[in-house]
Structure formats: C-alpha cells, structure tokens
Amino acid sequence: MKSFQLKYLRAAVLVLSLMFLSCTDSEDGYKWNDDWEQTEDPDKGDNGDEGNQEVETPDIPKSRYVWIDAAANLPDYGNDEAKIADDLARIKRVGFTDIIVDVRPTTGDILFNSSVGSPLERIDVWGTSYYWFKRTSEFDYLQAFIDAARSLGLGVHASINTFVGGYLCPYGLGSEGMLFDDPSKKDWATVINSEDGLVNTMDMLDDGVDWGAKFLNPADPEVQDYILQLLADLAAYDLDGIILDRCRYSDDGLLADFSQESRSQFEQYVGKKVGNWPSDIMTPGATSMTNTADQLKWLEFRAKTIHDFIVKASDKVHSVNQDIRFGAYVGGWYGSYYPSGVNWAHPSYDPSKSYPWASAKYKDYGYADHCDYMFIGAYAGADSIWGNTEWTVQGFCKTAGEKLGKTPFCGGPDIGNGTGFTDGGKGALMTELIDACINASTEGMFVFDLCHIKKFDYWDDFKAGFDKYLADFE
C-alpha cells in the first residue's frame, strides 16, 4: 500500500545518500542531518525586515561549537572513555569553545540515564562493511563527555533527535528502536496520506524503499509526554544547553500526519468537522501545495503543534534547571521548510508577505521567542559559501537573522555531505566557512560534524581559521 510517488521519493533519497561518504573509509548509507536537501524555491520572495538582527562586532570572541553526531561517532567513543578525553583535548587546542553531544540518534534509543528511555545497545554503521556497532561498555556516555569537557573548560550541550522512534536499515540489516521493540506504541508512529490511502509508517517495512527513521506523530499527547520526560531527565545533567533536532514532522513532508489523533485536533482547531478526510485537505499522495484555504489552515495547525510543544519543552527544561539554555536546530532553508510543519521564525516576522503558503496567522506560531538560542543549518555546497540568499552558507545565516528577532543564533556548515564536500580535500575553505558563518551570526558558529574533521584531517585548517578570527581580538 505505498504510492508510486513515495516509492520514487525514497528511492531517490537512497541513491543520493549512497553518494555521501561516511566518517570511515567506505561509502555511506547513513545521511546525517538529513533535514537538508538543496532545492530551488519557486515561492521565494522578499523576506521583509521584521525582526531583522543587526550583527554587531562583539568585544569578545563568539562561541565556536562542534557537533558530535551519535551514529557517526559511536564506533570511536561508545566503548572508549579515554578516546573521548583525548579528542576533546584536541578540540580545545584547535579553538572550539563548546561541544554539542548527540545523545538520542534516530533509533530513539538514548545515551544518558532516563526513567523512560531505552539505553542504546547498537546502531548501524558504515565502515569496511555495513554492520551493527554494539555498545558493550556501561559507562555513562553523556557524563563522560561532561567530565572531560569540564576539565578542559569547554561548554557542553546535549542534542536529541526529537520526534523519532526507530530506524529501518537498508540491505536487510534489520531495524532498531522503540517502535520496533514495543508493538503497543504503533499508534505513536506517523500516518501518511499515500495514494493508496492512509498508512501507518510501521506498516511500511520494505527496506529497499522504506528505510530510514520512523517518526512519531508530534500531535500525539502520549508522544509529547514521553519526550518531555526524556528532556526532564536530560536537564538533570550538568549541561550548558539542550538542543532539539528533528523537532518536526516526518521526512514524508506534506504526506504527514493524517492520523485520527491529528484529525481530531485539527477539527478542534478549525471549529468544524472535515467531511472527507484527508482529501478535503490534501489529495491522497500529494506532496505539494495548491494553497487552498483548508491547506493554509492545515499548515497553521501543524506549525501550532510544533510551536506549542516547543513551549512545553522549554518550560520543562527550565523547571528542572533554569540556567540551562534551551534551543533547536533547524535547516536554514525557511522558504522550503514548511513541509516539515515548522515555523522557526520569531512571531514578529510575517512570512505571508513573501510566501503564498503562509496565511496571516501563520506568523503567530513562530517559536524563536521561546528559545534561548538556535542553530541554523547553513548547508550549502562548497562553491556556494558567499552570498545574501538561501543556498549560500553566508546567505543562510543572513536570512536567518532577518527572521529570528533577538534570539541569539549560530549558523554552521556541513563539511562532509553535500556538493563538493564528500571527497574531502577542502581544508583551504575552512577559514572562509568560519568567516562566512561567525560574522553573519549573532551567537557564533557551529560545525557539522566532528567525524568529518577527523576523517579528512581538517584539524590544522580549523586552527588556522580560528587563529585568524581571534587575531582581531588581541
């Protein structure tokens, strides 16, 4: 019961992802931070100037973060506490100020202590072959990073992949995660609006087509309560910040989520019953908008769902420790991010002035004002560093500043995936990437991912770039 469109879309993603190189020495079937896919945005217009941030020259250097993706780095750190300390010492010497440790990958299993989460036992990895990496050590993974970072004076931030609950691997490797381990939670999974009807994604198990993360329904109250408890447990650690990744609807985009739970909440939102569900909203199998009045209301509802959860999550984290900063990672391609059900802008920014998919009310569900800081994926190609628009590294940062009000933010490049980066050999660009991001962002910059720095030996290149940046403060 899978539509041709969905099969084609997933097959295309599989082909593209196999072009990316892993952090080991073989082709990579795992697409880290797969929020991003470069597309032309036919609806792109003038962004307006609401909430525009002026990026001033600071008196002290800005922060420099390095992301440490769980799946990409577990073979190095999952069973080797000493290796964590060694590499963090090198991170400090190069000139980074903070680390972001991913502690809940797309399987939904966790790398910290929790009263509700399941500890990560294995994860799929591309090395000399595609295999399961098994975590056999019992040390607290997150605490090991905290201890090493504190001894070095590095800031420590934890990230989680939010609305995910399992991973279906390609090539017959198998599956992992809560949705696969606990059949009673099947109703938590995303329901898509396929050409053949409504389908729970846990019924889509053809690993040649349906491989990838299995997302949870963000509108489900039980799902939200579960994630909120994970965040409460995470906030008990000695952290400087907590960052939500994949706090959005599923990779199926506008096909999701059409569960009965979502229907009931949407009908409550609009104040009327939907006679023909889901066809009154979206034609079965449709992956693009025609911008009907009902569709604009549907986009409002999805954005409100994520907005309201962000409010709850921020409150939950700060109820445990008011000093922990709370934020989110999002892709910088705002003009084409709406299929994810997210309005990451500040509510002072009105996208209806620029985009036909945004109603006048859509701006009310911008959530940046509930974040202490944000991380903007400036994931353009190696030949698109400089510019003022989306799909350039600098432009992603600049256009984010137009939308985020006074919320501090970091833009950052993906230096291992995407056009021009997959084969390495781009060390000379690291200084440019630092310059493009850190000077167009208010908080600083981040780099995705540590594994790429190690794989392509970019250590000296980052040190040279940071030294150049820091020279202005001497």
Residue range 31-90, pLDDT digits in tens? 444 454 544 443 333 344 445 676 777 889 999 999 999 999 999 999 999 999 999 999
What pLDDT sits at residue 49?
42
Residue of 399, 369, 467 whose CA lies nearest to 64:
467
What pLDDT sits at residue 51?
52
Q: What is the mean pLDDT of residues 230-256?
A: 98
Residue-wise pLDDT for 256-310, tens only, equals: 999 999 999 999 999 999 999 999 999 999 999 999 999 999 999 999 999 999 9
Is residue 232 predicted with pLDDT exceeding 60?
Answer: yes
Structural domain for 424, as ranges: 4-471
How many domains are contained in the chain? 1
What pLDDT sits at residue 57?
75
What pLDDT sits at residue 120?
98
User: What percentage of the chain reaches a pLDDT higher than 70?
Assistant: 89
Report residue 91's pLDDT band, with 50, 70 and 90 as the boundaries.
very high
What pLDDT sits at residue 128?
85
What pLDDT sits at residue 127?
83
- Tell me the average pLDDT of the chain: 91
What pLDDT sits at residue 52?
65
Q: What is the mean pLDDT of residues 86-98?
A: 98
Q: What is the mean pLDDT of residues 165-181?
A: 98
Is residue 253 predicted with pLDDT exceeding 50?
Answer: yes
Is residue 458 predicted with pLDDT exceeding 80?
Answer: yes
Written as six digits, the tokens of 354 are 């620029």
CA 104 to chain centre: 12
CATH number of the domain bearing residue 440: 3.20.20.80
What pLDDT sits at residue 196?
96
Residue of 388, 397, 169, 192 whose CA lies nearest to 282:
192
